[in-house]
Structure 1
Amino acid sequence: MSSNELRSKGLSRFVDLPQIIICGDQTSGKSSALEAISGLSFPTNANLCIRFATELILRRAPTTGIDISINPGSERTEAEKEQVRSCKFTGTLEELDLGEVVEDAKTVMGLNGTSKVFSTDILRVEVSGPSQPHLTMVDLPGLFLTGNKDQSEKDAALVEALVLPYMKNPRTIILAVVSAKSDFALQQVTRHARAQDPKGMRTLGLITKPNTLDQGSDSERFYIELAQNKDVQNFAERNEPTAARNAAEAEFFSKGVWKSLKPTQLGVAALRVRLRRCWEMVIVPRQPSGKATGKRAAAGNGLGLH
């Protein structure tokens, strides 16, 4: 039985299955990263961001298909779990409106009222097709510290409690998303990545929104230095067609100081290769000789997080 089949049956509670988590602060560009990797457009609320974990399973298959379901959180009663599991989403990949799916999922999870802001339920999206890589990713709610009218400090603690168990799992690759638009030192994901993966063996850093930096500024120099010999990718504006986004991405990285970075550090295609490589390193069984440990260490890309 494959890791995806084990996960769909809920056995990940008993077996540590390899996965890549996409984590970062709110508005860091996590959903844009997920969209660029998967080719699926997940709607976001600029003020609140996602309210629950989204598990995205990409697998190679002769034909294209999509299967969507909700895995209930462990705190639910058995009756509630059964009700949540009974909710299914039907349609082809071309027909399915993921915006509607997310809204329907929020209703099932009880997130359309005012009393509940985040959920421990998981939206599970499995996409298959001949061009899909074999990857399992989890997009997590964005981290934040201070509350506002839409979310409280208690909600911030809940999100942290949702994210940290994923980060602690030794079978997890941490895709730490850092926005160049925000102060690096204030972004919570960097602190948590250091704490949960001190040696950087499982961490792949991702810089988003470099096009917001002023050319020649101290901030641009800082992020270039941060990216030197590390892994950095950029994702252009969301909702652009893939070809247009890729062209804009290539144009941006062909200019200025960004062209000093290696091609393997830039762009969506390179990111997919890096993620696949890191994923393979994590699933290599431990060997007494230490060879596997060395391979996993070679996959670590701290991006200044350590």
Structure 2
Amino acid sequence: MCEIEEPSLNNEFEENTPSIVVFGDKSSGKSSVLKRLVGLPLPMGSTKCTPFEIRMLQTEEPLRKISLRYIEDENHKPTTPREVEFANITDLNDEEIEEKLREAQRYVRNPSINAENTQLLPDSDELTFTKNVVCVTISGPDQMHSLPMVELPGIVRDEESHENFLLSLVKEYIKKETTILVPVFQATSGIATQCVSRLAREADPSGLRTVGVLTKMDRIINYMSDDEKHLELATFVKGQGKHKLVNSVYVIRNPSSVRSEIFEDPDELEKATIEALKQHRIWRDVPSDQFGLNNLTMKLNELQQRSEAQERPETEERPETEVPSEAQEQSSI
């Protein structure tokens, strides 16, 4: 483990590359969405109190590694940003990767502890929530885009200080004009009661860089007679109504548990959920391209390319202006 010697490269990558930020209430299903998007066994549950950044890069050799980025100390005071390598996970299986990620989470929540040579004490952390980041780099010849994705801790309301910290963290990440916002809504709660809607609208009033995700629709299928609820959700997915999003909303079916994830194919689960929804008259006119992970991925790629195109004129080098020679100056007089 060692400190990365050229942090400026990482800063430049983050500054000039559009990023996708996934955020939502606690237990909204955002970790499962990101897990399916990047194919990485991200930890889920109450220990998820740190931002996760997934960097996908196209390189000749495949590599997966974890690094830790520290930007605050054990008192939440800003420090000089530094990033240290933590683990090479290229050859690890999913269970081992998840264990390493959980360990990395604990180290960034204990910034005074040297991750290289100091063991963590069990269940004793300096910070409950932190701005320090667990970074995962996924690179190889199959990666088509240099694209960072960030998942933020779920917003909790059990304590005001925790809620305020998390709201501030989300606002900080989504304010950049090139950031693509992915607010995750859960179908089991009213759309108006989920604060991600307000956060997205405040950061992106035009809605042009926001695409919504609706999870937990499998729990609504059992209530086919609740026309009011189905109408609210179908209208939301179609990009209509009071809470409409310009880029609309995508219905994603995540595995309902770790056991379900092991023994059932997420794509098949999603297909079955979509077919069941389409049996309800309210959902029959919802466009098919608003369902499923593949359609969400295509929309994110579209928004990323649009964002890159807008950013490119500012980052491309301009040709230097030629300085006229003395002879040219005299001939023009």
What range is the shorter-chain TM-score in? 0.7 to 0.9
Q: CA deviation at 1:56?
A: 0.7
Say if 2:68 and 2:132, in contact at 8 Å, map to a contact too: yes
Say if 1:206 and 1:233, in contact at 8 Å, map to a contact too: yes
Q: CA deviation at 1:9?
A: 2.4
What is the CA deviation profile of residues 55-103 of structure 1, one whole-angstrom value per residue up to 9, with x for unaligned ones? 012234455321210111154545xx66xx3442023254362322222
Say if 1:49 and 1:141, in contact at 8 Å, map to a contact too: no
- Amino acid of the structure 2 residue aligned with 1:71: R
C-alpha separation in 1, matches of 2:312 and 2:69: 34
What is the CA deviation profile of residues 230-254 of structure 1, one whole-angstrom value per residue up to 9, with x for unaligned ones? 2312123154259711112112212
Q: Corresponding residue for 1:140? A: 152
Structure 1 residues 102 and 155: alpha-carbon distance in aligned structure 2, compared to 1, 3 A threshold:
same
- Amino acid of the structure 1 residue aligned with 2:105: K
What is the CA deviation profile of residues 277-306 of structure 1, one whole-angstrom value per residue up to 9, with x for unaligned ones? 111111213799xxxxxxxxxxxxxxxxxx
Please state if 1:232 is matched with 2:257: no
The alignment's C-alpha RMSD in Å is 2.7
| Paired residues for 1:42-191 under 5 Å | 42-45=42-45, 48=46, 50-61=48-59, 63-74=61-72, 75-77=77-79, 85-95=83-93, 97-111=96-110, 112-113=123-124, 115-134=126-145, 135-144=147-156, 146-147=157-158, 152-191=159-198
Please state if 1:223 is matched with 2:228: no
| Paired residues for 1:184-223 under 5 Å | 184-213=191-220, 214-217=223-226, 218-223=228-233
C-alpha separation in 1, matches of 2:160 and 2:267: 38
Say if 1:53 and 1:122, in contact at 8 Å, map to a contact too: yes
C-alpha separation in 1, matches of 2:172 and 2:194: 19
C-alpha separation in 2, matches of 1:216 and 1:66: 47
C-alpha separation in 2, matches of 1:7 and 1:260: 50
User: Greater shift after overlay, 129-138 or 219-228?
Assistant: 129-138
In the superposition, the TM-score normalised over structure 2's length comes to: 0.73
Identity over aligned residues, as a percent?
24
C-alpha separation in 1, matches of 2:8 and 2:48: 22
C-alpha separation in 2, matches of 1:287 and 1:66: 28
Structure 1 residues 40 and 265: alpha-carbon distance in aligned structure 2, compared to 1, 3 A threshold:
same
SS at match of 2:44: coil
For structure 2, the 5+ residue unaligned runs are 1-5, 111-122, 240-247, 314-333
C-alpha separation in 2, matches of 1:116 and 1:286: 36
Q: CA deviation at 1:129?
A: 3.8
C-alpha separation in 2, matches of 1:207 and 1:186: 14
Structure 1 residues 219 and 270: alpha-carbon distance in aligned structure 2, compared to 1, 3 A threshold:
same
Say if 2:19 and 2:178, in contact at 8 Å, map to a contact too: yes
Higher relative contact order, chain-length normalized (CA < 8 Å, sep 6+): 1
Q: CA deviation at 1:133?
A: 4.4
Q: CA deviation at 1:7?
A: 7.7
C-alpha separation in 1, matches of 2:310 and 2:59: 26
Say if 1:7 and 1:17, in contact at 8 Å, map to a contact too: no
Please identify the structure whose Cα radius of gyration is greater.
2
Say if 1:53 and 1:141, in contact at 8 Å, map to a contact too: yes
Matched length? 272
